[in-house]
Amino acid sequence: MYEVVVKGPEVDVLEKIKKARSKDEDVVRVVEEMKKAGVRELRGDEWKLEEDLVLKEGKVYVPKDEELRAEVIWLHHDVPTAGHGGR
């Protein structure tokens, strides 16, 4: 296991993702199955729970919240390191 350090606006987005998970029926079902089974991993490594985040195939699952998904895209699309530079 490795530790990921997150800072800046991404910290707020991660908190929003954690809170929004209750609005997504698929995620709620998966998390409940995991809790009932007492596991942190479900269906091989497809779904995992780590630090209150739901991971699907090793990536943070963003619940079905259009505003939140747009914010995540905005944070990672229009930054200089993404190479877009607004063009």
Residues near 40 by beta carbon (within 8 Å), at least 6 away in sequence: 34, 48, 49, 50
Residue 21 pLDDT? 80
Element (H, E) at 66: helix 66-77
- Its pTM stands at 0.62
Q: Which two tokens stand for residue 66?
A: 């259009």
Helix 9-20 vs helix 66-77: angle between axes, to the nearest 10 degrees? Answer: 160
Q: What pLDDT is stored for residue 50 in this prediction? A: 83
Q: How far is CA 46 from the centre of its chain?
A: 13
- Report mean pLDDT in 10-residue bins for the chain, 87 residues: 52 85 81 78 74 83 88 74 51
| Residues paired with residue 59 on neighbouring β-strands, in sequence order | 56
